[in-house]
């Protein structure tokens, strides 16, 4: 989907949920949508400052928090970075990320079998999963 298509979809999702996609949030969304891989908050802040010189760390973190809560982006905890979710209309989907340690490429995959196996093991332990992000590190096909 095009960047404009993603933005229009995000605007529709926000309107349906009664959430505000402010100008700053939209700008951060667009910066992430233009990326092929993951990016750190401070790198995004530097890009945002070219558009809004008054932007501060709190500005970027508030925008990223909103975008994450809406399911538009995923935080990659292991490398403290963010990546755009290109199928965010499927709210609350399990997140499985393949992260290349060589080039930084991040691919989001979705395996219902993996999700079912994880939930089954959690249920057997009496554990209730509220949020799921699985991160796998290695090398992508291009770097092999």
Question: Binding site annotation covers 103?
Answer: yes
**Is the Cβ–Cβ distance between 27 and 51 less than 8 Å?**
yes
Question: Binding site annotation covers 14?
Answer: no
Question: Binding site annotation covers 91?
Answer: no
Question: Binding site annotation covers 100?
Answer: yes
Separation of alpha carbons 25 and 66, rounded Å: 8
Binding-site residues sit at: 100, 103, 140, 143
Please report, in range form, the residues annotated as the binding site for Zn(2+): 100, 103, 140, 143
């Amino acid at each position: 989907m095009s960047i404009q298509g993603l933005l229009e979809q995000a605007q529709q999702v926000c309107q349906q949920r009664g959430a505000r996609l402010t100008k700053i949030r939209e700008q951060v969304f667009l910066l992430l949508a233009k990326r092929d891989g993951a990016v750190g908050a401070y790198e995004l802040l530097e890009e945002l400052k070219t558009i809004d010189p008054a932007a501060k760390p709190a500005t970027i973190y508030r925008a990223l928090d909103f975008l994450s809560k809406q399911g538009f982006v995923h935080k990659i905890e292991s490398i403290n970075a963010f990546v755009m979710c290109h199928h965010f209309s499927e709210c609350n989907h399990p997140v499985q990320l393949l992260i290349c340690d060589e080039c930084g490429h991040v691919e989001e995959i979705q395996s219902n079998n993996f999700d079912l196996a994880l939930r089954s093991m959690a249920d057997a332990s009496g554990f209730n999963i509220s949020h799921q992000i699985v991160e796998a590190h290695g090398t992508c096909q291009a770097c092999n």
